[in-house]
Homo-oligomer: A and B are copies of this chain.
Amino acid sequence: MRRIADSTVRRLSLYLRFLEESTNRGLVTISSDELARRGGTTSAQVRKDLSFFGSFGKRGLGYSVPELTESLREILGLRRDWQVIIVGAGKIGTALAQYRGFRQRGFRVTAVYDRDPKKIGTRWDALTVRDMAEIERDIQKEHPDIAVLTTPAEEAQVVVDRLVSAGMRALLNFAPIQLQVPPDVTLKNVNMAMELEGLSFALTNRDR
């Protein structure tokens, strides 16, 4: 399969959300113009994004909402559950472990780890914070799919090296640091301050 840009995948996620809302509103078909508005793009881009994955829709008739919904779920890997572990039981880790939006999408948080003895063994809803020392053994036994990193920045690279050695191949990093991973590992970064910088940029350049 061709390499698909992150920005394309992000738009597919937005299209899927719009399709699901359209289903709730009872719509059966939808145009590429409507999907484009939702994805913040053009109808030509919508057609191009979808063309990577097959042939959808009929000229002049638009897309079938249920069919395109199912196709996007399949493309995005959402027709199965994914086991997610959270590494770092701080405030962001806590918030994510209890985030309802994950489970709705099939992302099940199955374990939380920390190295702080005061946190290990404490319960979070159905989860108990586990000892970081056991993470390699657990990964090899339980085969989680995705690890979410919420450790302090200065510990993140060491933790990532351990996760990768133990077999993790998909990481979502919240630590504000650029991490190194081998080419067969997919790493995505969420940087809260960078999101705000997009806004300070907009405010600054609008005022000029």
How many residues from A make CB contacts under 8 Å with B?
60
Q: Which residues of B contact A31 (CB under 8 A)?
A: none
Q: Which of A152-181 contact B (CB under 8 A)?
A: 169-172, 176, 178
> In the docked arrangement, what's the CA distance between A192 and B113, Å?
19
Copies of the protein in its oligomer: 2
Residue in chain B with minimal CB distance to A176: B101
B188–A172 CB distance below 8 A:
no
Does A92 interact with chain B (Cβ within 8 Å)?
Answer: yes
A17–B192 CB distance below 8 A:
no
Q: Which residues of B contact A14 (CB under 8 A)?
A: 178, 194
Give chain A's interface residues, CB within 8 Å of chain B.
1, 4, 6-7, 9-10, 12-14, 17-18, 38, 75-78, 82, 84, 90-92, 94-96, 98-99, 101-102, 104-107, 145-146, 169-172, 176, 178, 186, 188, 190-206, 208
